[in-house]
């Protein structure tokens, strides 16, 4: 984290990296929704 903050350039992430993170987030949300159907 500190390395990113100390970087003089704005935070830049490759599209492929963002896509991977997005997919991981979506899978996590699906798992959460699947395991907590009673909440909603």
Token pair in block for residue 20: 């991977």
Q: Which residues of 4-31 are buried (b: 16+ CB within 10 A; e: fewer)?
A: eeeeeeeeeeeeeeeeeeeeeeeeeeee
Residues in the chain: 40
What pLDDT shows up at residue 5?
A: 61
What pLDDT shows up at residue 29?
A: 95
What pLDDT shows up at residue 12?
A: 76
What pLDDT shows up at residue 7?
A: 61
What pLDDT shows up at residue 3?
A: 58
Token pair in block for residue 9: 């350039």
Question: What is the per-residue pLDDT across 1-40, written as a single tens digit (0 to 9) for each?
Answer: 565 566 666 677 788 999 999 999 999 999 999 988 765 5
What pLDDT shows up at residue 30?
A: 95
Token pair in block for residue 16: 């492929």
Cα distance between residue 6 and residue 20, in whole Å: 24
């Amino acid at each position: 984290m500190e390395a990113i903050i100390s970087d003089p350039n704005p935070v830049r992430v490759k599209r492929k990296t963002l896509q991977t993170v997005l997919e991981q987030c979506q899978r996590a949300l699906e798992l959460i929704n699947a395991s907590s159907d009673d909440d909603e």
